[in-house]
Structure 1
Amino acid sequence: MTRAPLAQRLAAGIASAGLVAVLALAGGTTLPAPALATERGEPGGTEVTGGNSVDDAAEIEPGSYADEISYEDVDFGEDHPASTYRISLEDGQSGYVSASMLRPEDAGSDAFGAAELEITVAAPADPSCSVSQSSRVSGNETGSVSVSISTGVLDGNNPNDSCFQRGGSFIVSVAWSETYDGLPQTLPLELQYVRQAATAWSQLPEPEETPAFAEFLPESRGEAETLSPGWSFNTATELTEADAIVDAEVGRPLFFRAPLSTGQQLSLRARAASPADHTLTLRVFDPNLRPVAVARPGDEGAPASDMPDANGTGTDASIKISDSGGTTALTTRYPVNPRHEFVEFDDAKASSIAGDYYIVVTIEPPLIDDPATGTHQVRLSWESQGEPFDSAPEVEGAGAAPSYLGMELGTWVRIGGLGLGSVFLAIAGLLAILAIRRARR
């Protein structure tokens, strides 16, 4: 076998090394993305299998996870079996955990009873040191059963629970505690774990019970991206452009997410062209799946708007669609501020974590017994308003990616990798030219 001249072999070797460097640095050092669901009804997130006890609890890092949960009958007074997960927190940090049980889309029909999900966070060394929350959804309602909880700030001033004062290992237990006829005994389960770093509280602004309102968005007629919505919190579609066009099935919530930094508020506007007598509803949830307080057109003190006054509650905005369509809007009531965790006005607590906020859009039939059929186009616009705080704690697992000069860190790594790879390729090219010239002599 005849070997190529040394210069040619060296050039080929460096070219190969350059290509490997490009591939490794361009793709191998970016932040890992969760494995998302591909079919409607599947849970989104990285797959995990919860344990059955404290000893075999599955250890999870901040992020989104997909599991499943089963219902088992127990004798009166006994606890239902729980799936267990282990999280770690340091002194001064806060942990936020949420769980969503995905029911079949036709589960909300004429069923009697309800489904209930419970979540508990406990210190393994002292099981009596725990906090719990539960959520119960009627069988005649659609949608998932979601519940959330937090450890509070792990220091001596923790307002959540006096025994949660130091960092360490904590056990999260999720139990399906109530069901009804017609619901499968095993359902998909989504988990989210958000960890907030220790905070220099004195450097953050004092929370205001009645902050200034954000502005409602005007009607937009510009170009809009066409999106496929998510069907759950973990599969929520990221909004990257100011305007989006989506197809909405009547009665089925559409899930989106948009990033908010500390100091910012979210402004949303949605328009549905049809059908008449149906209702268009907007809701916002924080990274811990807590419903966020909102302001609507027509609320006392709210800015003027070019649309009719909206109906709804303190956490949603809705409008009845007419023959000419229907437009509704909302803004989140409070700017994101970690100090909201300590305030007495509870409406503000869900605006304490920076990261991805979840937007749920629904077209609902006139009456609960009316068949939910048909697909209709919705135009959704969004904007973050307000200046981010100079001092804010790092948040992990809430969808917020580290950035530098306005560009995600992973992007800078890829650019750096491509730059270094280009250097390798340039050297390889020069050596190849030299090898060819020498071969011709």
Structure 2
Amino acid sequence: MGHVRSNDEGWRVMGRRTTWWRTRAQGGRTPVAGALRRVGVVAAVLCATAGLTVLPATAAGAPSSYGYDKGDRTVDGAVGTADAETLKPGETYRSSLPKGASLYYGLDLDATSTTYVSVTAVPPAGTTVAATDGIKVSMQNDTGTGCTHQSATFGADRSPHPVAAWAAREAGRVLCKGGGRYYVLVERVDASGSSPDTWGLELTAVSEPPPAQAGTTDAPQDWNSASPEAVTGEARRRAGGSGFGGAVAVGQGVWRDDVEPGRTLFYKVPVDWGQQLSVTAELGASSGGSGYVTRALDLELYNPVRGSVDEAGLSYQGSQDSAALQPLPPVEYRNRYSVLDHENGMRFAGSYYLVVHLAAQVADSFGQGPFPVTLRVRVTGSAHAGPGYAGQSEPRNIFEVTTQDREAAVTGSAGGGDTAMKVLAVAGIGAGSVLLATLGVWTVAARRRASTAAL
């Protein structure tokens, strides 16, 4: 699912540039030469900084590596409830899941908030997985009563990539009433022929306060369920992020990136209360090769708490093809009372995640690519006020669409590590500007001192 850009290439380039500048700075003892030696030292430092900051932002990494959120806290899963470490709503965590393991994590919950825990399993690049491999995530109270559970598998493409599943303690439901100690159980599901590699885990815990006023507990019945027409127009390039924390924002429009087999792209779309989202993904034609790849492209939609909503996929024979999510209802609080996943998941406003994976097996028939992937995103409907929560969510504002969210959809801002890389890239550009200015000023000054000495 995406890739983490390595710093190794940046360090190697930095070393070459440093050596080059030092070689050019050696020579005579004139004032100009001395100044140039000083320029060489500064230039080496600035070029090193530019090499370190700019190159990793564009260098390709391992196909299946995942961009963990830089704010993740490390937590160990326990084999029993007695030793389960506590997850706090509003935080994200990093853990690991050995083959065949079943691990517990704890939660201390109040009686009124709904709490969601999403778990993303990250298999290492190159590992062998079966279609039925994956994880099961469930939540239970201190008496062992189950609240909710969900499973996620790699599917027919058997391409290793992060998969996510969620569980919840929904306040007001018959099961799991009341506050107290709760547990999240993460189970690894393996086929006999799968690799024994340990998988990485990223866990998020989110709390949703109750509405200030009680409303109906029936799901909406009347909404436009017709398949919308895909958005047309010229595609704009927007590189996807490498994980949920670094998902790149997009809004309504046509967006394109070029993807190598085995990679996964993360985007997020701000969708407000009352708005309706539709998405189509296209995989462009191959420039060579032949064959047939089952589930070559996988498109998954996750809601703001990283809960799975819907998915679509397409097989590939080398010619352009597309797949669309099924019609989704407008975002409403009442959607949670639907028994259908693609309706139930559209229960709050916020950033919805689009996760696009190109199967590693595409390379076997059609080469390493990259292959053009286009997303056609439509957001319709007038936004309206939410349910009016009686308290704050954790993390704050997760169930809102802010002005910053709308601006990010226009500019393509990312979160987490991807944002940091963009800042560093800008810093690298800035360093280059400073270098040019410094060279100019110091060289002129050195020449003036040389002229004065000659007199």
TM-score above 0.5, yes or no: yes
Residue 127 of structure 1: SS of its match in structure 2? coil
TM-aligned CA deviation for residue 376 of structure 1 = 1.5
Aligned to 1:220: 233
Q: 1:90 & 1:362 partners in 2: Cα distance?
A: 38
More strand by percentage: 1
List per-residue Cα deviations over 1:307-354 (Å, max 9, x = no partner). xxxxxxxx426486775x445554642112222222344541121133
Q: Report the CA distance shift for 1:397/1:216 in structure 2 as closer, same or farther (over 3 A).
A: farther
For 1:286, which of 303, 323, 337 is the aligned residue? 303
**1:25-424 aligned within 5 A:** 41-42=65-66, 44-45=68-69, 46-52=72-78, 53-71=81-99, 80-86=101-107, 88-108=108-128, 114-124=132-142, 126-128=143-145, 130-137=147-154, 141-142=158-159, 143-152=161-170, 154-155=171-172, 158=173, 162-178=174-190, 180-181=192-193, 183-200=195-212, 202=214, 207-209=219-221, 211-213=223-225, 215-221=228-234, 224-230=236-242, 232-239=243-250, 242-275=253-286, 282-293=299-310, 315-316=311-312, 318=314, 325-326=320-321, 329-330=324-325, 332-363=327-358, 370=365, 373-392=368-387, 393=389, 395-397=393-395, 400=398, 406-407=403-404
Give aligned-pair identity as a percent.
18
C-alpha contact 1:114 1:179 (8 A) present in aligned 2:
yes
2:299 corresponds to which letter in structure 1?
L
C-alpha contact 1:265 1:334 (8 A) present in aligned 2:
yes
TM-aligned CA deviation for residue 188 of structure 1 = 0.7
Q: 1:390 & 1:112 partners in 2: Cα distance?
A: 45
Q: 2:401 & 2:86 partners in 1: Cα distance?
A: 30
C-alpha contact 2:118 2:167 (8 A) present in aligned 1:
yes
TM-aligned CA deviation for residue 212 of structure 1 = 0.9
Residue 344 of structure 2: SS of its match in structure 1? helix
Aligned to 2:452: none
Aligned to 1:25: none
Q: 1:350 & 1:381 partners in 2: Cα distance?
A: 21
Q: 2:135 & 2:360 partners in 1: Cα distance?
A: 27
Residue 120 of structure 1: SS of its match in structure 2? strand
List per-residue Cα deviations over 1:358-379 (Å, max 9, x = no partner). 2133455998984763212223
TM-aligned CA deviation for residue 68 of structure 1 = 1.6
C-alpha contact 1:281 1:319 (8 A) present in aligned 2:
no
1:245 corresponds to which letter in structure 2?
R
List per-residue Cα deviations over 1:200-252 (Å, max 9, x = no partner). 56557963345114743431226x2431442x445533336844331112354
Q: Which runs of 5+ in 2 are unaligned?
A: 1-60, 409-455
Q: 2:397 & 2:285 partners in 1: Cα distance?
A: 33
Q: 1:97 & 1:89 partners in 2: Cα distance?
A: 12
List per-residue Cα deviations over 1:134-162 (Å, max 9, x = no partner). 4454697123343221112x22xx0xxx3
Aligned to 2:32: none
Q: Report the CA distance shift for 1:371/1:99 in structure 2 as closer, same or farther (over 3 A).
A: farther
Q: 1:206 & 1:320 partners in 2: Cα distance?
A: 41
Q: Report the CA distance shift for 1:118/1:380 in structure 2 as closer, same or farther (over 3 A).
A: closer
Q: Which runs of 5+ in 1 are unaligned?
A: 1-37, 73-79, 294-314, 412-441
C-alpha contact 2:137 2:165 (8 A) present in aligned 1:
yes
Q: Report the CA distance shift for 1:326/1:60 in structure 2 as closer, same or farther (over 3 A).
A: same
Residue 118 of structure 2: SS of its match in structure 1? strand
Deviates more, 1:338-347 or 1:351-360: 338-347
Aligned to 1:7: none
Q: 1:366 & 1:103 partners in 2: Cα distance?
A: 16
List per-residue Cα deviations over 1:97-149 (Å, max 9, x = no partner). 121211133335xx66853423232223x334654444454697123343221
Residue 263 of structure 1: SS of its match in structure 2? coil
- Kindly report the root-mean-square deviation, in angstroms, between the aligned alpha carbons of the 2 structures: 4.0
2:351 corresponds to which letter in structure 1?
D
C-alpha contact 1:50 1:58 (8 A) present in aligned 2:
no
C-alpha contact 2:219 2:336 (8 A) present in aligned 1:
no
More helix by percentage: 2
1:219 corresponds to which letter in structure 2?
T
Residue 65 of structure 1: SS of its match in structure 2? strand
Q: 1:346 & 1:229 partners in 2: Cα distance?
A: 25
1:378 corresponds to which letter in structure 2?
V
Residue 221 of structure 1: SS of its match in structure 2? coil
Q: Report the CA distance shift for 1:364/1:184 in structure 2 as closer, same or farther (over 3 A).
A: closer
TM-aligned CA deviation for residue 41 of structure 1 = 1.4
Residue 353 of structure 2: SS of its match in structure 1? strand
Q: Report the CA distance shift for 1:113/1:326 in structure 2 as closer, same or farther (over 3 A).
A: closer
Q: 2:167 & 2:225 partners in 1: Cα distance?
A: 28
